[in-house]
Structure 1
C-alpha cells in the first residue's frame, strides 16, 4: 500500500489515530466516573464499540483479496518460527516488550499514586494521563518523516532518551499538578517517537515475511502491556512510586540496548 521510502510517514499517521485513543481514553473515563459514576463508562464503551462496528460494516472496502491457499494450522506456525529465527526480529520484539512495559507501567501506577497520595479526582488524573497522547498526536507523523530520512534506530534512540528524561524529571522534582502535566507531555512525545520507529521496523525488517514478523512483534509487544502491572507491583508495594519509576527507567534503557542490536537496511 505504501512505498518503502514513505513507510515511516504512513506508520506515523497511523500512530496518530492510536494516540488519539490513548489521549481520550483516560480523560473520558475520568470525566464519566466523576460526573456519572463508573457504570456509565462501560455503557459508553459498549455504545462506542457498537458504533464503530456498524460504521466499519457500512464504509469498509474489502479491496484486493489475496488468494487463499489450502493448508494446515501448523504450516502457519512454521512461518512464525521462521520469522523468529531472524536475530533482528528477536531484538526488535523484545525491545517493544520492554518499552511497552516501561510505558504502561508508569501510566498504571501513577494513577493509583495520585489518587491515594494526593486525593486527586479521577477527571484530573485522566487529564494528566491524556497528556501523553496529546503530544503524541503531533510528534508521531514528524517522527515518521524524520525516520524516513535519517533512519529508524536514530529516531527510536531519540524517543527513548526523551522518555528517560521525563522519568528522571518526575523522580527528581516535587509534585505539582502543572509539573506532572508537563512531564507526562514530554513522556508521551518520547513514547510516540520511539513507537513510530519500532512499528515501522516491524513491517520492513524482513519484507518477505512481513505478516508473520508483525504477528511475532505484536505478540511480544502487547505481552509487555499484560505483565507490566503484575511485575511492577513488586516494586510499587515496598518502594512506592519511586520504585516503579526506576523500574520503568530500566525497561526503557533495556529497550534501547536491544534496539541497538537490530540490523536493518533503513536502520
Structure 2
C-alpha cells in the first residue's frame, strides 16, 4: 500500500465570503434541532405512555429508536458527504429529519412514533458530523477556532434546554408539539443551508459500499448490545450475540479499510497522535459524564419528587454553562492552548462528579450540589470546542468530514457505553423501590463516572501542544 502526503486543496475560485453570523445560523440551527431531540422526549415519556397506552418496552424504544441509527450512521453519512457533496448530504439530513418530525407529530400509535423516531435518527446522523465540517470550510483559518467555540455553545444549548423544553411543552401544550416545533425550524434551516453554505467534497471520489455496510451494521449491533445490556443481562444470549457480531463486523471493517485503496475511513488518520488521543478523551468524557447525568436527571424526580420541568430547571447550572463557556474557549483556545483547555475541563468535570457522588443523599439540599453543577458545566464548556478543534486540526482539509464523523461516532459510543455501564452498577447496588435504595445505587455509579473522566484527564496531558496532520493514504486511485 503506497502512502503519500495529500496536497492541500487549491483555494476555491469565486467563492463568496459569507457573514459569520449567517454561516453560524446555517450550521447551528440544524445542530441545535438535532441535539435538542436527543433529550427532549425523555421528560415527556410519562404523558406519551398514557396517551398511546404504551408499554415500558415502547417507552425504551421511543428513545433508542432515535439513538441507535443516529450513532450507527454518523460515519456513513460523513463518508457519503465526502463523495456526493457535504452540503447536499447536509440538506438531505435536515429534510429527512423535518419530515420525520412531522410524522412523529401525527403519531397515534406506539409503532408509528417509534418508526418516526428511527427516521429522525437517520436524518440527524447526516447533520451532526457535516455541520462542523461545513463550518470549518466556510470560515477563514484565523476565525475557525472562535467559530467552532460558538458552534459548541449552540450545541450545548440544545443539551441544556432539551429537558426544560420537553417539560414545558408537555405541561403547557401537548406532547405532539415537541415534534411539530421542528417543522418550521427545519424549513428555515433548509433555506439557510441552501443559500449560505458552499458545496465541498473530500478527497475520495469512489464509494466504498462494503465499508459502508460493515461500519453501519457493526456500530448498530455494538451500540444496540450495549443499550440492551442492563435490561436483558450482559451474559444473555441476545446481548452477547449482538456484542460479538458487532465486534466482528468492526474488526472486518478495519481490516477492509487497511486493504482498500479508497477507504471511507483512512486508518492513516490515527497516525496523528493528536487525533488518536483526542478521540480517547472524547470516549472517556462522554462515557463518564453522560452516564452520570443519566442517573442524576432521575434523582430529582425519583428521590425529591420534582416534576419533569422542575427537574430540568435544577440541572440548568450544569447544562447552560457550556453555552457561555464554549464560545470563550473557542475565542481564547489558540492563545491558551487546546491541550490545556481540555485538561482543565476534564479535571473540573471529574472533581464536580466526584463531589456529587460523595455529597448526594436522600435528603441532600439543592444548595449542596449547585456549585458542583456549575463546575461540571464549566468543565464541559472547556471541553466541547477544543476537542472538535483538535480533531479537525489533526487531519488535512480534505479529511475533515470523515474525521468529524469518526469523532462524533466515538462520542455517541461513549454515551451509550457510559449510560449502560453506570446503569448496571446502579442496579447492582440500588433500586427504584425506595429513596435510600436509589441513592445506594447512584453514589457508586457516579463515583465510577468520575474515575472514567479522571482517566481521560490523564490522557489529555499527552495531547500535543499543536495538532498537525499526519501523512495520509493516497486517495487518488
- Specify the TM-score bucket, using the shorter chain as the normaliser: 0.7 to 0.9
Kindly name which structure, 1 or 2, has the bigger radius of gyration based on alpha carbons: 2
Cα deviation code 1:179-227 (max 9, x no counterpart):
3333222211111111221111111112343222222211111111122
Runs (4+) off by over 4 Å: 67-70
RMSD over equivalenced CA pairs, Å: 2.4
Matched, 1:194 2:421: no
Q: Which moved more, 1:221-230 or 1:59-68?
A: 59-68
In the aligned structure 2, how far is the partner of 1:250 from the partner of 1:22?
23
The Cα shift of 1:96 comes to: 0.3
In the aligned structure 1, how far is the partner of 2:322 from the partner of 2:335?
20
Q: 1:57 aligns with which of 190, 212, 217?
A: 190
Report the counterpart of residue 139 of structure 2 in structure 1. 2
Q: Cα 1:249–1:47, aligned 2, differ >3 Å: closer, same or farther?
A: same
Report the counterpart of residue 358 of structure 2 in structure 1. 172
In the aligned structure 2, how far is the partner of 1:218 from the partner of 1:241?
28
Report the counterpart of residue 450 of structure 2 in structure 1. 249
Corresponding pairs, count: 263
User: Is the 2:352–2:375 contact (alpha carbons within 8 Å) kept by the matching residues of 1?
Assistant: yes
* Structure of higher RCO (CA pairs closer than 8 Å, 6+ residues apart): 1
Q: Which has the higher helix share?
A: 1
User: Is the 2:288–2:450 contact (alpha carbons within 8 Å) kept by the matching residues of 1?
Assistant: yes
The Cα shift of 1:264 comes to: 5.0
In the aligned structure 2, how far is the partner of 1:64 from the partner of 1:243?
49
Alignment of 1:19-168 (within 5 A): 19-33=156-170, 35=171, 40-41=174-175, 43-60=176-193, 61=195, 63-66=197-200, 70-73=205-208, 74=211, 77-168=263-354
The Cα shift of 1:122 comes to: 1.6
Matched, 1:182 2:368: no
SS in 1 for 2:320: helix
Cα deviation code 1:30-75 (max 9, x no counterpart):
3344x259xx33x123112212221122333264323687413156
Q: Cα 1:6–1:67, aligned 2, differ >3 Å: closer, same or farther?
A: closer
Cα deviation code 1:148-194 (max 9, x no counterpart):
10210101111112112212322333521233333222211111111
The Cα shift of 1:102 comes to: 1.5
User: Is the 1:84–1:216 contact (alpha carbons within 8 Å) kept by the matching residues of 2?
Assistant: no
Q: 2:154 aligns with which of 17, 31, 41?
A: 17
The Cα shift of 1:10 comes to: 1.3
What is the TM-score of this pair, normalised by structure 2? 0.51
What is the TM-score of this pair, normalised by structure 1? 0.88
Q: Which moved more, 1:175-184 or 1:122-131?
A: 175-184
User: Is the 2:337–2:465 contact (alpha carbons within 8 Å) kept by the matching residues of 1?
Assistant: no
SS in 2 for 1:118: coil
In the aligned structure 2, how far is the partner of 1:59 from the partner of 1:266?
32
SS in 1 for 2:181: helix
Q: Structure 2: any 5+ residue segments left out of the alignment?
A: 1-137, 212-260, 430-440, 469-477
In the aligned structure 1, how far is the partner of 2:152 from the partner of 2:263?
28
